[in-house]
Amino acid sequence: GRGRRVSRPAADLSAPGRGIVLILLANLLFAGMDAVSKTLILDYPVGQILWVRYAFFAGFATVLSLRSGGPLAGFRARRPVLNVVRAVLLLAEIACFVLAFRYLPLADTHAIAAVYPLIITALSALVLGEFVGPRRWAAVGIGFVGILVILRPGLSVFDPAALLPLLGATLFAVYQIMTKIVARTDGMVTILLYTGWVGFAATSLVGPLQWTPPDLQGWILLPVAGALGVVGHLILIKALELAPASVLQPFNYTLLLWATTVGFLVFGDLPDEITAAGAAIVVGSGLYTWWRERVRARRG
């Protein structure tokens, strides 16, 4: 009796811990995928890289669908148009980031991309009608000051390519808001199926036309990028099964740390002091926003 009552809470407490470990691993894999994409984008078109990546993703979604009752059943969405639009948004977002990797270091790209949770907070108020108090609006404003510090508009060091990850972060925030809406009526497998197959269909229109015959390194790295993305998503899904998204959210910022580490080890890139300061402002604002949301949820 007594031993069983003690061991069960211990197991329950360990599940969020395992979820946190998995989210850290997933972000490491995503940073690795970005490093591979940065290597590939120097020699291959965006369409070709994404075509191969989405072939893996569509296959991954189909396998998940087969395990849960058949691929056609998974396509029976309550909101098919929203699912398609959402999938196209994600494709455009990924294209922005892969293209940004051609011009920017990994750490700089992810420092700008770290603003997406703040954009989600703003859109949650403007689009979903969720209450956002003055403190969180202030955090959103401060976060965008951090982005201006990184971008340095008006100074000679401003790089127009830095607008690519900012556009990508905005698209990703809209995609996340649409995911919230779609998830009210459609299950995870359906959402993944639409994400994978709409992306694969769209990239199939340009991938074969842009095809550049790969060398040996290209034949290795193209599928490796796809495999890293699939395994990363699998681990991410498992992490969300073990721990609530609200618990995992702050650990998503470790992607910036992983990207900085991988960028330094592979390409020898490190962000300068001003970029690092701007990134600290953005991440700090995001963490404060997350904390305020937790406070409100506890009061609710």
Which tops the pLDDT comparison, 218 or 77?
A: 218
pLDDT at residue 1 tops 70: no
pLDDT at residue 241 tops 90: no
What's the confidence (pLDDT) of residue 131?
86
Residue with tokens 């990207």: 259
Instruction: Using pLDDT thresholds of 50, 70 and 90, give the confidence band for residue 240.
Output: confident
Give the per-residue SS3 of 187-246.
Answer: CHHHHHHHHHHHHHHHHHCCCCCCCCCCCHHHHHHHHHHHHHHHHHHHHHHHHHHHCCHH
The 10s digit of each residue's pLDDT in 144-156 is 999 999 998 766 5
Rounded distance between C-alpha atoms, residue 37 and residue 40, angstroms: 5
pLDDT at residue 10 tops 60: no
Instruction: Using pLDDT thresholds of 50, 70 and 90, give the confidence band for residue 70.
Output: low
